[in-house]
Amino acid sequence: MIMGGETKWVLKSQPFSSSISLILIALLLSSFANLVVSKDTNSSSTEKFSPPANFLIDCGSKQQSRLDDGRIFKSDRESSSLLATSEDVQVSVDTISNSTIVPPSLSPSSLPLFRSARVFLEESTYTFYIPKSGRIWVRLYFFPLPRQSYNLTDAVFCVHTDQIVLLHDFSVSNNTAFVFKEYLVNVAGNRFSLKFKPKKKSSAFVNAIEVVSAPDPLISDAATSVSPAGEYTGLSSSALQVYYRVNVGGPGINPDNDTLSRTWESDKKYNAFPDGSQNVSVTPNSIKFPDGGATAVIAPNWIYSTAEQMKDPLTMEPNFNLSWVLNVEESYSYLIRLHFCDIVSKSLNELYFNVYINGMIGVSSLDLSTQTKGLATAFYKDFVLNASAITNSSIMVQVGPANLQQGTKNAILNGLEVMKMSNIANSLDGFVNVEGKPIRPSERAKVMKIIAAIGLAMAVTAMLLLATVCIRWQKRPEGWENRKSFSSWLLPLHANHSSFLSSKSSSRKSSVFGSRKSKSGYSSLYSSAGLGRFFTFNELQNATNFFDEKAIIGVGGFGKVYIGTLEDGTKVAIKRGNPGSEQGINEFRTEIDMLSKLRHRHLVSLMGFCDEQSEMILVYEYMANGPLRDHLYGSNLASLSWKQRLEICIGSARGLHYLHTGAAQSIIHRDVKTTNILLDENFVAKVSDFGLSKAVPENTHVSTAVKGSFGYLDPEYFRSQQLTEKSDVYSFGVVLIEVLCARTVISPTLPREQVNLAEWAMQNHRKGTLGKIIDPRIASSINPGSLKKIVEAAEKCLADHGGDRPGMGDVLWNLEYALQLQEAASQIDHPEDKSTNFIPLDHPNEDDHKIGDSSVTYSSDKSEVTDLFSQIAKLQGR
């Protein structure tokens, strides 16, 4: 009974106790579930970070500003308790000209913040209460509002925290652009102050301020040091200034799509080799964040879901780097964060690539699969680049395939951040500390050592200079007095550089350049040397209306091409090089080398050049109808008939044939493509752009770094780096296909097998379905015989091995034959023309002979053509 009673009690109380335990279990479970869930959300894209300190102030504004990205900035009155100042003024304007330049680091949603500002006439301090010590963002907005009682473009001031100099003797003299500065600084206690210190008799101002806590894991203490290679520790003691935050391969990302309200810009401006890269993207929701690695706080999934990869990694054998170049200020070290996420591989362990920073290895054979244990999984890596490793005020980030046998030859980058690190003066702007004391690298002894070293170096340099001058003086060539900028880069830069000019005897050089006596003598001297006429800078300024932007008809790596009208009314194309570019200098020199040797109806001719005022300007005949490509696709120009297209192909083939065989040395163009085939007012084709051309002794090849344009590049040249004329033949084969199908040679957005036009066309040709991909505007008018001939010619040009490809002479013959077939067919189609003699009397080859270009010989071909043609005529007569 007792037991029973007990039992009863137990039984009786069971509902009570079990309900408690149930509740407890439920609570436990739910908190566990919460844990799981919160862990889950931690590693998902939806994670929200709520900053413990979050001060957003629209300085000088009478009311709150609600931005489009959802953030609310407090008015001046609401934030007045934070500010200690003795003399200040609020200023505002109703509107700001919408032509004001918005820097890419700034989200357009923040533009309303620039409409008002607070002006400080004395040192003034904002003090913020920071609940939790750690890193905070400081974001400052500046714009010198016009028409104020204080001229804000004259304001010169410093901005400090308690320890760090953010801005020193700062001013915004340009009132056509907004200025945005972003910092990450450490706060040790609970107070953080921001001081605005006007220079004597000047003022300071600010349009908006953000002081916002950053999550602790954002910046860790350690990173990989690039130079010297090793580990870098102590990052947490550096203040940082954000220089670049780039979403590679994707669009700009606004603060509302980043839980830390960061703005990310697109990488387009910084991509140094856009032709070699191709953007890829996946849906942002498919991005996974690994345990203990990158989180959505490091970068939102939008960043990891887009990337640049190497163009066409499977169809070619690419061996190059993708490169990004970002300008920075020298004499600071930088923290560089690279974001990766393998959204290109089909399975694990396919992708291995190297990462370089300023030419030095950052990671060798990076294997994302091992790092993240999964595809589409976020990964990032921090590097510190020492100030001493920065030259040319730039940081270059490169990724390229690792030289391994396994895996695909590909490399990717998803995101890129560059942050300036504070220096020994605890400054991000100069070498003066918060107390206004100049700080120079270490103690006096060191300084003395440096001075001594500099002195010694100067003495040595001076002696060397003196010696060089003496030697050069003794060896000075005739007429050296007049030699200047342009001519000095026409002359070989390197003694052993095997360029056209340097291979000439020095006597020739001095006859070309050495006898420049007076300006009036220039033009005749130069034209006799084949360099065309000498143009004065003034003359070209007048021709282009002072290099008016409106006169630009083309832009390339070398600079801009303008249309100009000379005093006598002649239209010319004027190519003006970017000064100081070594590559530009070399390409210009090659172009002059080549063009001065070549005259042909189907090569664009050089009229002259200008080298005054360190300019590098070339003047060409003007080609009224522009590049062939514009007449094929991508513009609104009228479509060319098949016959016109054939004639254009024939013209360019003649130009190339002349290059390969016509001059003393065979010349390989190296960049044959439809944008380098220009059309004059009568649609006569001329080959242009000899910047990459190379002269080779007959029947040999030259080994050289692969240059050219994607989609046109000879795969054999790519593999072997050995250049022969047959590489031009390959590219010309691509041109033929492009002319036939009228689409881009590489279309990354199409299905895999269609990406590369030449391959796609050949595949269709073999299946007999080529008809389907021919330009529909001309498909019905092409005579089948003519088509067959062209496709055969193209197929031979595109042969894998150079040895199997025909020479340009053969190609030309086939093209002419195709034209004859086409013309014969159109005679049949139009019986009313029958009365006329349909054998063209005016053989196209005549043009060349008129020019008196004896070096082009294909007269035997010509008679064969005529033979064949008379056979066709007979056929038709039956």
Ligand X SMILES: *[C@@H]1O[C@H](CO)[C@@H](O)[C@H](O)[C@H]1NC(C)=O
Annotated binding site for ATP: 575
Encoded one letter per residue, x for contact with ligand X by CB under 6 A and - for no contact, window 354-393 reads --x--x----------------------------------
Q: Cite the beta strand spans of 623-707 per DSSP E.
A: 626-627, 666-668, 677-679, 685-687, 694-696, 702-703
Nearer CB in complex with ligand X: 401/662 = 401
Least distance (Å) from ligand X to the CB of residue 633? 15
Least distance (Å) from ligand X to the CB of residue 386? 17
Order of strands across the sheet that contains 559-565 = 533-534, 606-610, 617-621, 571-577, 559-565, 552-556
**How many angstroms separate the CA atoms of 372 and 368, rounded?**
6
**How many angstroms separate the CA atoms of 629 and 631, rounded?**
5
Residue type, 788: K
**Among 130-138, 193-201, 250-258, 567-575, which window interacts with ligand X (CB under 6 A)?**
250-258
User: Rule CB under 6 A: which of 735-774 touch ligand X?
Assistant: 748
User: Rule CB under 6 A: which of 559-578 touch ligand X?
Assistant: none
Q: Which position among 67, 106, 214, 253 is part of the footprint of ligand X (CB under 6 A)?
A: 253
CB 237 within 8 A of CB 426: no
671 is a catalytic site residue: yes
Give residue for tokens 């894998």: 800
**How many angstroms separate the CA atoms of 510 and 123, rounded?**
66
- Binding region: 575
Q: Does 398 bind ligand X (CB under 6 A)?
A: yes
Least distance (Å) from ligand X to the CB of residue 47? 14
DSSP code for 57: E
Q: Does 415 bind ligand X (CB under 6 A)?
A: no
Nearer CB in complex with ligand X: 321/499 = 321
C-alpha closest to that of 102 among 73, 139, 143, 146: 143
Nearer CB in complex with ligand X: 552/750 = 750
CB-based contacts of 156: which residues, under 8 Å, 6+ apart? 169, 170, 171, 198, 199, 202
Nearer CB in complex with ligand X: 284/785 = 284
Instruction: Tell me the site size for ligand X, rule CB under 6 A.
Output: 16
C-alpha closest to that of 414 among 301, 335, 326, 537: 301
Give residue for tokens 């053989």: 843
Least distance (Å) from ligand X to the CB of residue 676? 20
The active-site residue out of 671, 714, 775, 848 is 671
Nearer CB in complex with ligand X: 114/710 = 710
| Collapsed DSSP state (helix, strand, coil) of residue 512 | helix
CA dihedral 743, 744, 749, 750 (to 10 degrees): 50
Q: Does 321 bind ligand X (CB under 6 A)?
A: yes
User: In the numeric block, which tokens belong to residue 307?
Assistant: 């990337």
Least distance (Å) from ligand X to the CB of residue 529? 37
**Among 91-99, 247-255, 619-627, 802-810, which window interacts with ligand X (CB under 6 A)?**
247-255
Q: Computed from CA positions of residues 228, 231, 233, 235, in that sequence, does the dihedral angle turn out positive or negative?
A: positive
Q: Computed from CA positions of residues 387, 390, 394, 399, in that sequence, does the dihedral angle turn out positive or negative?
A: negative
User: In the numeric block, which tokens belong to residue 139?
Assistant: 């974001």
Nearer CB in complex with ligand X: 299/812 = 299
Q: Which position among 60, 144, 250, 559 is part of the footprint of ligand X (CB under 6 A)?
A: 250
Least distance (Å) from ligand X to the CB of residue 225? 17
Q: Does 276 bind ligand X (CB under 6 A)?
A: no
Nearer CB in complex with ligand X: 715/748 = 748
Angle 288-290-296 from CA coordinates, rounded to 5° = 65
φ and ψ of 82, to 5 deg: -85, -15
Q: Does 400 bind ligand X (CB under 6 A)?
A: yes
Least distance (Å) from ligand X to the CB of residue 354? 7
Residue type, 219: I
- Per-residue DSSP letters for 840-874? -SS-TTHHHHHHT-TT---HHHHHHHHHHHHHHHH
**Among 3-11, 36-44, 319-327, 837-845, which window interacts with ligand X (CB under 6 A)?**
319-327
**How many angstroms separate the CA atoms of 228 and 251, rounded?**
35
Q: Does 319 bind ligand X (CB under 6 A)?
A: yes
State the helix-helix crossing angle for 725-741 and 642-661, rounded to 10 degrees: 170
CB 819 within 8 A of CB 793: no
Q: Which position among 79, 257, 727, 822 is part of the footprint of ligand X (CB under 6 A)?
A: 257
Q: Which position among 75, 124, 225, 279 is part of the footprint of ligand X (CB under 6 A)?
A: 279
Q: Where are the alpha helices (DSSP H) in 662-768?
A: 715-720, 725-741, 757-767
Q: Does 320 bind ligand X (CB under 6 A)?
A: yes
Least distance (Å) from ligand X to the CB of residue 400? 5
- Print burial letters for 855-865: b (CB count within 10 Å at least 16), e (below 16): ebebeebbeeb
DSSP code for 511: I
**Among 81-89, 172-180, 220-228, 251-259, which window interacts with ligand X (CB under 6 A)?**
251-259
DSSP code for 359: T
Q: Which position among 289, 302, 379, 622 is part of the footprint of ligand X (CB under 6 A)?
A: 302
Least distance (Å) from ligand X to the CB of residue 64? 24
Least distance (Å) from ligand X to the CB of residue 258? 9
Least distance (Å) from ligand X to the CB of residue 126? 32
Nearer CB in complex with ligand X: 175/365 = 365
**Among 25-33, 125-133, 313-321, 833-841, which window interacts with ligand X (CB under 6 A)?**
313-321
**How many angstroms separate the CA atoms of 392 and 593, rounded?**
29
Q: Does 128 bind ligand X (CB under 6 A)?
A: no
Order of strands across the sheet that contains 88-92 = 88-92, 116-120, 204-206
Q: Which position among 112, 134, 251, 785 is part of the footprint of ligand X (CB under 6 A)?
A: 251
Nearer CB in complex with ligand X: 266/731 = 266
Nearer CB in complex with ligand X: 95/283 = 283
CB 119 within 8 A of CB 190: no
Nearer CB in complex with ligand X: 361/873 = 361
Angle 545-551-554 from CA coordinates, rounded to 5° = 145
Least distance (Å) from ligand X to the CB of residue 97? 26
CB 362 within 8 A of CB 224: yes
Nearer CB in complex with ligand X: 250/708 = 250
- Print burial letters for 831-841: b (CB count within 10 Å at least 16), e (below 16): eeeeeeebeee
Residue type, 301: N
C-alpha closest to that of 198 among 274, 258, 139, 120: 120
Q: Does 353 bind ligand X (CB under 6 A)?
A: no
Residue type, 757: L
User: Rule CB under 6 A: which of 19-48 touch ligand X?
Assistant: none
**How many angstroms separate the CA atoms of 773 and 762, rounded?**
11
Catalytic residue annotation: 671
Name the residues that contact ligand X, by CB under 6 A: 250-251, 253, 257, 266, 268, 279, 302, 319-321, 356, 359, 398, 400, 748
